[in-house]
Chains A and B, each alone.
Chain A
């Protein structure tokens, strides 16, 4: 690694051996344990990633013909082609509300479930179960359960609440349901582990000083929980942002749920336009990182001490 160059210029008149001096700076042979992971990261992440960035500047002939010559032709296509560009808005319209809902709905649930009560373990296990369903079974289940002939519509018609079956799948709502079913347990697990990291004696102290539950929640728990909420929001947002199978299976793949991931895959698998696919993929990363950065910036204004919880 870069070890010798690091310590080289700084070496003074010390009599200790080079090896000793390096060891003082934390460099010795045991660092070799890091090597496999580094090689892995460079070969499977850094190299393909930079290759992909390079690829975005090598537009295919077809793209150049349609969107003008030059290295930026892919980006021109991305921003000028309404069909592609609109997918940003369509993705955001799904991912942001889904992530917000999952985080906000998890707070009261995690809050109520943090005390001991009978059947808590069973309930937690049940809440974790959707993770096993996977997107594909969730999609299949939603199609059957919430479809026009499904039990949900049948039940609502039978009790006289509605007269026409509701269209709950093959549109925006279907994908939203699927995102909540897969994202909510995840958000709940994270938030309840953050919540368990908050020292109960702090809340007890607030209680002693006469704070009612609203004050305790707003002034004590929420500030301590906020960094964890930000992290959870980011993670659920990342999950929802790259939604792809459910957008195709329970959504309206050519209409209201034409998300970026679908567009990227269309360019990759169906049109085999690798440069364009990479461009869409990279823009996905950029847009997601912008949202993550905004949330992290907001988080940096919050309390940063120990809450015990750690992602």
Chain B
């Protein structure tokens, strides 16, 4: 992988004239950017282009496949048909699967916000004994591979007779979500000026009132961002859900995986493609709506602003 670091430098070595030209220009006008792009710029754009070729290729080929009839030795399938979608919908009972996916996601969001935000508030504002230990405890599930705690947890849930139920799927998904909410909300709360709360307390507001009337409105953007990230994670979570879900409690990802690996070669490829398209379409809608409300780097950027004060 050292070639990767070297690669950023080598284009300059191969083509000696462009860098000297740009440097001369830079020397002439330090504040201005040179018009001729540096070789590294070309390299970066080429890498991005290669990445997108793969990305778009993957996306389009699945979409085309999901509409195609027969597709073996040609550039495009012979005929186009929407029947795979209706087929997939009926074969896998997608109404039920999508219902399960949304139920799990919404429940996980609500519980992890209710549990995580108060904890994040305390971690951001207070000093108390064992604070470091508790922080570490909340951090551990994020650092571990999901399977490491997933398998013991699944064993426990099976022992309690919860295996393959919706409850189990929700519980399992809470394990990474609650720490995630705590981790994203703590810096967010830290950047809210504490004097606002002090002022409310001095004016006679109780702790509950401080929370509902003062903090809540300020926290809404952060909670929204955290919820969306939890939503994306939960809908996309494969490893943990797969360990405990059964036919009646499969989320969409797990259902697609099961269809792909089903014994006997699996279902027709186009059926799976159409399910995958439905999955990706749902996720994209969620994410695009989300990105209109919050920027992914917002949480980090806000912390920076506050540290400048």
Contact = CB atoms under 8 A, between A and B. Distances in A.
Interface in A122-165: 123, 125-142, 144-146, 149-152, 154
Interface in A245-267: 245, 248-249, 260-261, 264-265
Nearest to A158: B75
A36 interface: yes
A45 B58 contact: no
A285 B279 CA distance: 30
A139 B273 CA distance: 10
A172 interface: no
A150 B257 CA distance: 21
A20 to B, nearest CB: 16
A36 B260 contact: no
A302 interface: no
Contacts of B272: 140
Contacts of A207: 30
A26 B239 contact: no
B67 to A, nearest CB: 13
A204 B118 CA distance: 42
Interface residues of B, number: 99
A37 B182 contact: yes
A255 B183 CA distance: 38
B143 interface: yes
B48 interface: yes
Main secondary structure of the interface of B (DSSP, over half): helix
B212 interface: no
B65 interface: yes
Interface of B: 1, 4-5, 8-9, 23, 30, 38, 40-41, 43-45, 47-48, 51-52, 54-55, 57-59, 61-62, 65, 72-73, 75, 114-116, 118-119, 121-122, 126-130, 134, 137-138, 140-141, 143-156, 171, 174-175, 178-179, 182-183, 187, 207, 232, 236, 238-239, 242-243, 253, 256-257, 260-261, 269, 272-273, 276-277, 279-280, 283-284, 286-288, 291, 296-297, 300-301, 303-304, 307
B165 to A, nearest CB: 15
Given A97-B1, A244-B239, A265-B147, A33 B59 contact: no
Contacts of A149: 72-73
A125 B44 contact: no
Contact of B261 (A105, A127, A146, A248): A248
A184 B138 CA distance: 26
A48 to B, nearest CB: 4
A249 B155 contact: no
Interface in A23-76: 25-27, 30-31, 33-34, 36-38, 40-41, 44-49, 51-53, 55
Contacts of A107: 8
